Amino acid sequence: DKDIYILGIETSCDETAASVIKNGNEIISNIVASQIQSQQRFGGVVPEIASRHHVEQITLVIEEALSEAGLEPMELDAVAVTEGPGLVGALLIGINAAKAFAFANGLPIIGVHHIAGHIYANQLMQPMEFPLLALIVSGGHTELVLMENHGSFKLIGETRDDAAGEAYDKVARVLGLPYPGGPAIDRLAHESDDAVEFPRAWLELDSYDFSFSGLKSAVINYKHNLEQKGGEVIPAHVAAGFQQSVVEVLTTKTLKAAKEYNVKQVIAAGGVAANKGLRASLEAAFENEGIPFYVPPISLCTDNAAMIAAAGTAMFVDGQRGNMGMNGRPGMSL
């Protein structure tokens, strides 16, 4: 059997990334150009600025991914690119680069869902086993997805308001911490010797949905009330309390779903899966139940193109092909 080499391209938000993957599970090269420094000045991602960065970086990043892989374009089997969801202007930079590259080199193009990419990041670490439960927690998503097989995604729970990462970023801003807020809150929470008690949003007893906007309001109200009384807000205590609430709800619902659906494997994915507190909590909970739980290393949790190439390989093997009419799909569903 011939080896399969796929070039992945990801530009859905604020990372410009390209990667070459062998046989869907081996990283040959993985290049990520981050815009975080630029976005920090604005306290978040500004779509126009993100697009401009992608334009500047995309060709360099693709060339670097190929040269680090030591491969000529004709040695590739296909180009996989994030088709959605994401910022439409940002998506289009990656899609147009992928189309041009595919056309120039006579390669097929494959459109990948960004969240499928986050899930398939796990395939780079260990083979997926089905039924599989994925907890996807990122800046734009908080979802529990059941997979019966490759390419089959059943949404069993999702956030009704803010995504977990969005809540992290907003609470960080309230505490005067830099963007992106997740890593900063995670660090503070671990340094803290005390935690403010915040509510947990369980919703209905049988629901796997999430809600984080009430928690965000509780943090804002706590700060406001304390300051009115002339008290001092200790950011580490707030960070620790906020993180405890998020982690407890995510862990409890994921565990309950894993048992109800009798899954063989549980994986975590997305930027918030980089969170030390969440990783430790999920690892402990699933070890206790004897259910295999995996989460990729931090560099594969946050946005990257290796995950897009990994998901693209599964689609390629399944015979799926895109075409030159591909467009950015900002609201694409899984």
User: Which parts of this chain interact with Zn ion (CB under 5 A)?
Assistant: 138, 303
Is 169 annotated as contributing to ligand binding?
A: yes
Residues 317 and 235: their CA atoms lie apart, in Å, by: 49
225 marked as binding residue: no
Nearer to Zn ion, 83 or 303 (CB): 303
Helix (H) or strand (E) run with residue 294 in it = strand 293-294
The contacts of residue 80 (CB under 8 Å, 6+ apart) are: 6, 7, 8, 9, 98, 109, 110, 111, 112, 308, 309, 311, 312, 313, 315, 316
Paired tokens of 9: 């391209």
Residue 323 has φ and ψ, to the nearest 5°, of -145, 180
Nearest 10 degrees: Cα torsion 93, 95, 98, 100 = -80
- Partner interacting with residue 94 (select from Zn ion, ligand KG4, none; CB below 5-8 Å by kind): none
- Give the separation between CA 325 and CA 334, rounded to whole angstroms: 20
| 137 annotated to bind ligand | yes
Quote the least distance from Cβ 271 to ligand KG4, whole Å: 2
Footprint on this chain of ligand KG4 (rule: CB under 6 A): 13, 138-140, 165, 168-169, 180-183, 186, 270-272, 274-275, 302-303
The binder of 182, among Zn ion, ligand KG4, none, by C-beta within 5 to 8 A per type, is ligand KG4
Q: How close are the terminal C-alpha atoms of the chain, in Å?
A: 31
114 among annotated binding-site residues: yes
- Measured CA to CA, the distance from residue 17 to residue 26 in angstroms comes to 17
> Which residue's CB is nearer to ligand KG4, number 172 or number 201?
172
Is 275 annotated to bind a ligand? Reply is yes
Nearest residue (CB) to ligand KG4, 101 versus 120: 120
* Residue 221: CB minimum distance to ligand KG4, A: 22
Min dist CB 2 to ligand KG4, Å, is 33
Q: Residue 84 binds what, of Zn ion, ligand KG4, none (CB under 5 to 8 Å, by partner type)?
A: none
User: Is position 140 annotated in a ligand binding site?
Assistant: yes
Whether the CB-CB separation of 84 and 332 falls below 8 Å is answered with yes
**Which is nearer to Zn ion, 77 or 143 (by Cβ)?**
143
C-beta atoms surrounding 139 within 10 Å: 23
- Residue 11 or 29: the one with the smaller Cβ distance to Zn ion is 11
Residue list for the binding site: 114, 118, 136-140, 169, 182, 186, 275, 303
- Binding site for Fe cation, residues? 114, 118, 303
User: Which residue ranges make up the annotated binding site for substrate?
Assistant: 136-140, 169, 182, 186, 275
